[in-house]
Amino acid sequence: MTTTPSDPTTALPGRPPIVDLATWQAARDDLLIREKAHTRQGDALAAARRRLPMVEFDGTVEIVGPDGPVPFLDLFQGREELVVYKHMWHDGAPHQGQCEGCTTAAWHLKDAVYLNARGVSFAILTTGRWDEVASFVEFMGYTQPWYSVRGVEAPVGDSMGSVTCFLRDGDRVFLTYSTTGRGNEPVNGTFALLDMTPYGRGEAWEDKPEGRPEGGHPCWYWRSDADGTATWGPTSRPVPQWTRPGATPVETLGRHGHHH
């Protein structure tokens, strides 16, 4: 049985119209033209990105990791290129009170083998004190290198919540690129997959057909309580934390009145 979009006997309210495969394929092919143009524009932006100038800074500036203070140069691990994610930090907050947006980025960046294979190193920087950071990293089970950049000047210790790229030439180090906000979205493969679904990200700002779920505030599903109910209340955690051993329900995010 085949149906047409205007067939009221088979239409599902709040769902895409129902058509036969050939009709779907024609609509899909039309969209593909636009998708390819979008891809080419992305390629052009990347080409422009590669043509940005760069800024030299002191690569011997010290940051703190599991082995104590080390020069920033060490993050390159002998490679020429370095990508870092700068993770926000709430001093004195328990693990569940740390930034859910940065958790989302860090969780998607747990493995850098393909970056390494292309000669690019990866690390996560944060302004937290190392003793606090170390326990958080252990709890989360992160395996990529983390460092505290507390008190370190730009371009290393600033702009938390950003993706930043660096280039090395011998012992000389340069800042080449940085982005934040929605510029971080390429890190988050979940966004790209949700954008392919009929309900999208489930966020109220999205342009969606009439009758689809209205959606909530941006990134509403990034925190949940112990039952998996999305909430940003005091009993919530960034969702991947519930998969970690010892993630018991809590009654405070620890952000208010716990700052040093």
pLDDT tens readout for residues 195-205:
999 999 999 99
Q: What angle do CA 107, 259, 256 make, to 5 degrees?
A: 85
Domain boundaries defined on the chain: 50-185
Task: Please give the torsion angle defined by the CA atoms of residues 85, 168, 178 and 77, in that order, rounded to the nearest 10 degrees.
Answer: -10
Distance (Å) of CA 196 to CA 15, 190, 204, 211? 15, 10, 17, 18
Q: Say how far residue 33 (Cα) sits from the centre of its chain.
A: 28
pLDDT tens readout for residues 17-39:
999 999 999 999 999 999 999 99
Q: Is 172 in a helix, a strand, or coil?
A: strand
Average pLDDT score over the chain: 94
Candidates 89, 84, 83; CA nearest to 102 is: 89
- CA 98, CA 133: separation in Å to the nearest integer? 10
Parallel, antiparallel or unpaired: strands 68-71 and 62-65: antiparallel
Q: Are 223 and 236 in contact (CB under 8 A)?
A: yes
Please state the φ and ψ torsions of residue 43, each to the nearest 5 degrees: -60, -40
50-185 belongs to which homologous superfamily?
Glutaredoxin (3.40.30.10)
- CA 121, CA 143: separation in Å to the nearest integer? 13
- CA 206, CA 31: separation in Å to the nearest integer? 18
What number is the average pLDDT over the span 210-228? 96
User: How sure is the predictor about 260, in pLDDT bands with cuts at 50, 70 and 90?
Assistant: very low
At residue 113, does pLDDT exceed 80? yes
Residue 258: predicted pLDDT? 37
Q: Residue 136 contacts by C-beta under 8 Å, 6 or more apart in sequence?
A: 95, 98, 128
At residue 3, does pLDDT exceed 70? no
At residue 208, does pLDDT exceed 70? yes
At residue 219, does pLDDT exceed 60? yes
Crossing angle between the packed helical segments 100-108 and 130-140, to the nearest 10 degrees: 60
Least confident stretch, 25-29, 100-104, 107-111, 253-257: 253-257
pLDDT tens readout for residues 150-176:
999 999 999 999 999 999 999 999 999
- With a pLDDT cut of 90, the percent of the chain lying above it is 92
Q: Are 156 and 78 in contact (CB under 8 A)?
A: no
pLDDT tens readout for residues 74-89:
999 999 999 999 999 9
Q: Are 167 and 54 in contact (CB under 8 A)?
A: yes
Helix locations, 51-171, DSSP H: 100-108, 113-117, 130-140
- CA 152, CA 193: separation in Å to the nearest integer? 37
